Each structure stands twice: as C-alpha cells, then as structure tokens.
Amino acid sequence: MSGCSRNVDDMRILLQSCKSFGPQQRMKFYDSWAETYEQDSEVMNYRAPHLVIDFLNANFSGDRQGARVLDVACGSGLVAKLMFELGFRLFVGVDGSRGMLDQAAKTGLYQNLRLALLGTQALPAQTGAFDVVIIVGALRDGFVPVSVVRELCCAAKPGGLVCMSRVDPRSESGDRYKACMERELQLMEEEGLWTHVVSADMHRYMMDVYNSSNQEEQNQQYLSGTMSLYRKSPR
C-alpha cells in the first residue's frame, strides 16, 4: 500500500474492502498495511492501546521490570511501547501477520516474536509463564474467536493477570459474539480458572470506519468497548 498520507474517508474505503475476508486473507491484508499502520491509526483516532494500558497501569502493583508480558495480537508493537514507558521491560509478542511482526521487531522491545493465526493455530506460549497476558483490539466478531480466552488464561502464571479489550457490537453477529464471550468468561470463573478483578467501559476509542454512513454521521460515529482484568487462580 502507498505510504502517502490518508484521510478518514481513505481509511473507510480501505477497511471496508476487507470486511468479507477470511482469516488468511485478512493477515495478507495486514501484511500489506503494516508499514503505514501506526500513521493510519492516528488518522482513525485509534486510542484503544492508550486506554487499555492506562486501565492496566491503574490496577497493577507488581514488579514492572521483572514482569514477563505476553502481548497477543501485538501488531506493530503499540502496546509494548506504552508499557515500556511505564517500566515494563520483558515482552513476547504474537501476531498472525508477518508484516506486523516485522514492524514490531523494529521497536527493539521484544525478546521474542512468534507468528500464529489465533483460533486456527494454538497460541505459541509456554503454559503458566507470564505475569501479564494482554490482548488489545482483536477480540471482536470476525477476528479472534472467543475460544482463545482460555489460551490466554493458560499462558498466565498462577496469580498472573489477563488484560483484555473487547469491541462492543454494532451488528447482530457482534451481539452474538458479545453474548458468547460473556458466557465463556463467567464459565471460566465458575470452573475456578480465574477471578474477575475489574472491568471498565472503553468509550470512543476509534472512529467507526468499518461501516458505511452519510457524511454527517461519519464525523460522529465512534466505536466503544469494554476492558476487563482477570487474575489466574493461584493453583
């Protein structure tokens, strides 16, 4: 894709072009988008990493320098950059796009970067190895399936934290995804796998460039979501 500056309308056209893509096609799309991803994220006012890291920061009381962080769906490394500013130093990243991982490697922040298409391939992470497991922006209908949350929990140390953001639905399929996710999170609590620490709304974290609308609505519509923090059971 071109490296020239894009506006919101350009981003709407770009992202609507891949709405019907399957997982493999979507990763190829992200491969081609990787070089301008962060620049384009600013155009879309993509604030999810900042909001989620502020949320995690307010609820983390451990040793930041020594904490091992698994950054799932890490993209170009936005989450690790923000966590590094707060004192975290040990990162492993996982993403389904080789192009995004190449951009993440350029940050110099990750001890290891691993390629995996979540939901199709197993999460490539050692069981019980991470103090913090974090996923921002990928838990949504058509992207990462609900079943992956169990893999996130599995990767956390006993007593470790799993921090997640979920996109609130704007469609019937999104409603189904939300309901399925909430059932799974509750079931995992009932099974004693983890305990809920805190959740918060994630307001207006990104312009809604995924849906068509008239010009006036385009300037007003934003996506919202939910941030949740769970602690893996110490057993």
Predicted confidence band of residue 212 (pLDDT cuts 50, 70, 90): low
Between β-strands 110-115 and 90-95, what pairing exists: parallel, antiparallel or unpaired?
A: parallel
Does residue 19 fall inside a structural domain?
yes
What sign does the CA torsion over 122, 126, 129, 130 have? Answer: negative
Q: Encode pLDDT of 129-175 as tens digits.
A: 999 999 999 998 889 999 999 999 999 999 999 999 998 877 888 89
Amino acid in position 81: K
Q: Give the C-alpha distances (Å, rounded to integers) separating 53 from 11, 67, 118.
A: 25, 15, 22
Task: Report the chain's C-alpha Rg in angstroms.
Answer: 17
Instruction: Give the number of domains in the chain.
Output: 1
Residue 3 lies in a domain: no
Report yes or no: 146 and 153 within 8 Å, Cβ to Cβ. Answer: no
Does residue 162 sit within a domain? yes
End-to-end CA separation in angstroms for the chain: 48
What pTM, to 2 d.p., does this model score?
A: 0.93
In a domain, 158, yes or no: yes
Domain that holds residue 96: 8-232
3 pLDDT more than 50: no
Q: Which of 33, 68, 8, 48 is nearest to 213 (CA)?
A: 8
pLDDT of 67: 98
Which among 135, 143, 141 is positioned nearest to 52, based on CA atoms?
135
- Both tokens of 23, joined, read 């997982």
Token representation of residue 131:
């103090």
% of the chain surpassing 90 pLDDT: 78
Q: pLDDT at residue 1 above 50?
A: no
In a domain, 2, yes or no: no
Q: Residue 12 maps to which CATH number?
A: 3.40.50.150
DSSP state of 168: P
Beta strands 68-72; 90-95: pairing state: parallel
Query: In the prediction, which pLDDT does 27 show?
Result: 95
